[in-house]
A and B are shown apart, each in its own frame.
Chain A
Amino acid sequence: MHTKQSTPWLYLGPGLAILTFFLIYPSINTIYLSFFGRNSENFVGTSNYIYAFTNRTMLTALRNNILWVVVFTPLTVFLGLILAVMLDRVEYETTVKFIIFMPMAISFVGASVIWKFVYAYRPALASQIGLLNALRGILHLSPTPWLIKRPWINNFCLIAVGVWVWTGFCMVILSASYKGLPRQLLEAARIDGATEWGIFWKIILPLMMPTVTVLITTQVINVLKVFDIVYVMTNGNFGTEVIANRMYKEMFNFRNFGRASAIAVILLLLILPMLLVNLRRFRKQGAR
């Protein structure tokens, strides 16, 4: 059948129009605004970017985003992988998976509020309403103000919330991929006398690598944009600031459109390489 040259464009048109209007135009406008002052009136050159890389709070935010990427991403993917492989061998797999996946159904704000209670702190003599400090009380330890202990404990406490929410997601994706592996291969390896450890590292992991890579890139993108947990639990105080929360403050609290745009552009640039990695993977898979 003969297709006219214009037909593909006709089908692509609506999608492209929506993309241009809701994605490309705002992005370009944001980049444009990032070179202007707080009211988008005066051209200020790169001073918004200089601010973003010299201001103390912004540096803390950049540091914390790196911390989130380095701790959160491997932890969720690794825990998800272990759970996916291990749970495959137990009888009550569905129940356990259901429980681990459940936090995914809660909004981040909801999860953050729940964990704010878990970390709650009351003075030593008062009765503790926070789960962790109540446990410490049972062990005759003094309560700890988890969320204000800088620089590491409070950040790790926040990251733990993210891991709690996202591990289930990783587990489900990896479990699906694991169940799709050819069983004969694993059986053949077992018959040949390979150890379970060896099978995991030399057969299972390499075969699941495409899924793992996609998950890692998705998680890095997710975590770079982390906002809700920090906004609700500490609002970036006590050295827990992250880039997205800083952007929100500059935009809505301080009404500094230039700086907020510059921070948004920086976030976009950080995420871009991850998107490219994903895109290349898709293209490779398509070519196969």
Chain B
Amino acid sequence: MSKKTLVFSLTILLMIGVIATGAVAQRRTVSVLGIWGGGERDAFMKMLEPFEAATGIKVEFTGTRDLPAVLTTRVAAGNPPDISVLPNPGQMEEFARIGELVDLGTFMDVNKLQSDYAKTWLDLGSYKGKLYAIFISADLKSLVWYNPKAFSEAGYKVPETWDELIALSDKIVSDGKAPWCIGLESGAASGWPGTDWIEDIMLRTAGPEVYDRWVNHEIPWTDPQVKHAWRLFGQIACNEKYVYGGTAAELTANFGDAPDALFTTPPSAYMHRQATFIKSFILKHNPDLVPGIDFSFFPFPPIDPEYDTPALGAADMFVMFNDTPEAEALMRYLATPGAQEIWVAEIGKLSANRRVSLGAYPDELTRKAAQILANAKIFRFDGSDLMPAPVGSGSFWTGILDYVGGEDLDTVLKMIEESAVEAYGR
């Protein structure tokens, strides 16, 4: 055999090999786009291990914090991931409306989903009667985190009403200390922690029905009920004496760093309103703390007794862009209690699946949050996540920053209303 023929046949062999592996790889993988990195990514990969072992399908996970930008580009280019996390139901509606999403009812057992999931979750994952998204975990937002030891040392009692909350705040101020620590900075999403406050207050002062109308923009932002909620938020957040470091610190502190003020000696602040996920931030910054003993939470107290203590929440949702057998298998797996038990145990989030047992949660504190979520008479999804992006992840966020920064409330609400009129009226 001459040298030339040898090289030629080797090249051909190599090419066949490449094409063959390419074809096999194409059949046996599913691409997933998500927002997770670090510990959350590890937890997600751990959840996928049993799936990969059982099916032999390889999951190619890409994590990005700027998911909307990446996803928009990939969908527009005709190259979407097989499965993607979406930041909110609003985005799901956008993609469902232009026909990019796969109807999950075509391959999943809807009856089983209906028994496994509360109606709220299925409704939130549906658009025009078709199911497009499943939820793998949820966060309870209506919580105020505090340091029980610091509370008992100073003789403070957990407040059970809004008036008690304000009275306690005043008492802490008169003791020469700051009652609250708040952090509104969050990179490109700065301002969102404030939107959760407004939503929680709206639920407690105006009730769930008005809340829904507000989210759907059936009442304007300049409505007295909306304005009232902002005023109550401002009573705490715009009060230089109430917030540790004043509004300047509030606007510049990262939301993940803000609770650190609870654990300094002596405490720089005493209360921090934030969702369940903040537990992982607290533990990362202070690894020695024991959940339930060194830090705990109480429900954000009721304001109008008529509406009791409603629960505000958010969730992690998955949608499917490409209908492949591998993607179908993964979607079915993600909806199972088995998968979600691994995920919540690793990360301390709450499961959306009813069949996930309380025993799966890593500690008493998370179990307590899961019970509050399960027992809440009124539950509403994070309103800013349901609003169209120009409002829910635009003017609402900047409005919070402007208001806390000292802008006149009427001007702020008028600006949000202007963007809402356009965004909803399309």
| Chain A interface residues (CB < 8 Å from chain B) | 37-39, 56-57, 120-126, 145, 147-148, 150, 231-232, 235, 237-238, 248-249, 251-256
Contacts and interface: CB of A to CB of B under 8 A. Distances in A.
A38 B98 CA distance: 12
Nearest to A148: B251
B390 A147 contact: no
Contacts of B73: 252
A121 B248 contact: yes
A252 B252 contact: no
B259 interface: no
Contacts, number: 66
A199 B248 CA distance: 50
Interface stretch (B134-142, B187-195, B202-210, B347-355): B187-195
Most B CB within 10 A of own CB, among A121, A125, A232, A253: A253
Contacts of A238: 251, 401, 405
Nearest to A121: B252
Interface string B384-426: 0000011001100010010001000000000100000001001
Contacts of A56: 415
B405 A148 contact: yes
Contacts of A252: 66, 68-69, 72-73
A164 B68 CA distance: 32
Contact of A123 (B249, B394, B415): B249
A123 B426 contact: no
A245 to B, nearest CB: 10
B421 to A, nearest CB: 13
Contact of A256 (B69, B191, B390): B390
Interface residues of B, number: 29
Nearest to A146: B252
Given A122-B249, A148-B405, A235-B187, A254 B268 contact: no
Contacts of A37: 426
A172 to B, nearest CB: 33
Contacts of A57: 398
B390 A123 contact: no
B389 A148 contact: no
Given A148-B248, A253-B393, A235 B94 contact: no
Contact of A255 (B245, B389, B401): B389
B246 interface: yes
Interface in B228-262: 244-246, 248-249, 251-252
B401 to A, nearest CB: 5
Given A254-B394, A255-B94, A237 B68 contact: no
9 contacts: A120-B252, A122-B245, A122-B249, A126-B268, A145-B252, A148-B248, A148-B251, A237-B398, A254-B423
7 nearest A-B residue pairs (beta carbon): A123-B245, A252-B69, A145-B248, A254-B390, A123-B249, A121-B252, A254-B389
Contact of B72 (A120, A145, A255): A255
Nearest to B181: A123
B68 A123 contact: no
Contacts of A253: 68-69, 188, 389, 393-394
Contacts of B394: 249, 253-254
B68 A38 contact: no
Contacts of A235: 187-188, 190
Nearest to B422: A51
Contact of B401 (A124, A145, A237): A237
A238 B394 CA distance: 14
Nearest to A235: B188
A256 B68 CA distance: 13
Nearest to A250: B390
Given A123-B248, A123-B249, A251-B72, 4 more contacts: A145-B248, A253-B389, A253-B394, A255-B72
B348 to A, nearest CB: 28
Contacts of A231: 188
B389 to A, nearest CB: 5
Interface centre among A123, A150, A248, A249 (most CB of B within 10 A): A123
A48 B423 CA distance: 14
B252 A38 contact: no
